[in-house]
Amino acid sequence: MTVVISSITDLRQRLLPVRRDGKTVGLVPTMGALHLGHRRLIELARRENDTVVVTVFVNPTQFDRNADLQGYPRTLEDDVAICREAGVDFVFAPDSAEMYPPGGQLAWVDVPALTEHLCGPARPGHFRGVATVVMKLFQIVQADRAYFGEKDAQQLAVIRRMVRDLNVPVEIAPVQTVREPDGLAMSSRNRRLTAEDRKTATTLSQALFTAEAIVRGGERSVDRVQAAVLPLFHRHPQIRLEYFSIVDAETLTPVETIDRPVLIAGAMWLGATRLIDNVMIAPV
């Protein structure tokens, strides 16, 4: 049975006997509008834990644009139905006042070194909002394992580092990016694309796969990989490319030569919708 809970106190009370009985708890933090990507995280959590908590919270502190926050899809009823079908025990869906009570948030979690590049510069405060809300969820749920998608690779790196640096007793489980049949990474934001933009959206994953193939073919120069790939974006005047970068997989700082594991990552805009994607590659 899936129980929907909106209060922190209620959730804590429900989880007390679970933990007292020595059962494990798996946590899947989401912003809702669940799709097959989220579904994969939930399935893994279901397989590896006695109790599964899915959180559905559109976290205002991680939005750098108010229009994006206002327009973010909210489909709680459908989300609960998906969770029910997937055998989730608790859906935690608090409102903003529950997570950020009046009086304001004075304590924040920041991992600045990992947010200097990629999405960081264009989204001031975003990762601070993410790290802070995830830390709050860790404190509320006290899960044994928490599941995060590799689609948001920078977010995953920030959370891993936060857990390490602040000794948070939780195991972070990374989950491979789930894609549409044409390669587009699944995302709640995809449903905001027009039919025309939906077709063009595959440019990002195609560019990443092309870059990956070039690197696998032996190319080690970032400049040359970029020179080969960037024209793919320029073919579509409706695309606004925010970045297409190759960074050290661990430090997330740009490299010139691909001589270690790297993350190839991009962000682009179609109309008012921002899409991100990445591939990880370890050259041999």
Catalytic residue list: 38
Nearest residue to ligand AMP, using CB?
A: 149
Among 55, 154, 177, 278, binds ligand AMP (CB under 6 A): 177
CB of 2 to ligand AMP, least distance (A): 18
* 178 near ligand AMP, judged by CB under 6 A: yes
Answer positive or negative: Cα dihedral of 75, 123, 67, 104: positive
Contact stretch for ligand AMP (CB under 6 A) within 113-121, 146-154, 162-170, 206-214: 146-154
- Which is nearer to ligand AMP, 48 or 219 (by Cβ)? 48
CB of 16 to ligand AMP, least distance (A): 26
277 three-class SS: strand
In degrees, rounded to 5, the angle at the alpha carbon of residue 245 between the alpha carbons of residues 266 and 153 is 60
- Per the structure block, which two tokens stand in for 47? 């397989």
> CA torsion 174→180→184→188, rounded to 10°?
-70
In single-letter form, the type of residue at position 66 comes to: N
Q: What are phi and psi of 16, to 5 degrees?
A: -55, -55
CB of 148 to ligand AMP, least distance (A): 4
Give dist(CA 121, CA 124) in Å, integer: 6
Contact stretch for ligand AMP (CB under 6 A) within 74-82, 107-115, 172-180, 240-248: 172-180
> Residues near 134 by Cβ (< 8 Å), separated by ≥ 6?
29, 146, 159, 162
* 93 near ligand AMP, judged by CB under 6 A: no
Among 45, 163, 185, 275, binds ligand AMP (CB under 6 A): 185
- Which is nearer to ligand AMP, 37 or 129 (by Cβ)? 37
Q: How far apart are the first and last CA of the chain?
A: 48
Give dist(CA 185, CA 240) in Å, integer: 18
Query: x-or-dash pattern for ligand AMP, window 28-67, by CB under 6 A?
Result: --xx-----xx-xx--------------------------
- Which is nearer to ligand AMP, 185 or 262 (by Cβ)? 185
* 129 near ligand AMP, judged by CB under 6 A: no
Give dist(CA 70, CA 55) in Å, integer: 19
- Give the interface with ligand AMP as residue ranges (CB under 6 A): 30-31, 37-38, 40-41, 148-149, 151-152, 175, 177-178, 185-188
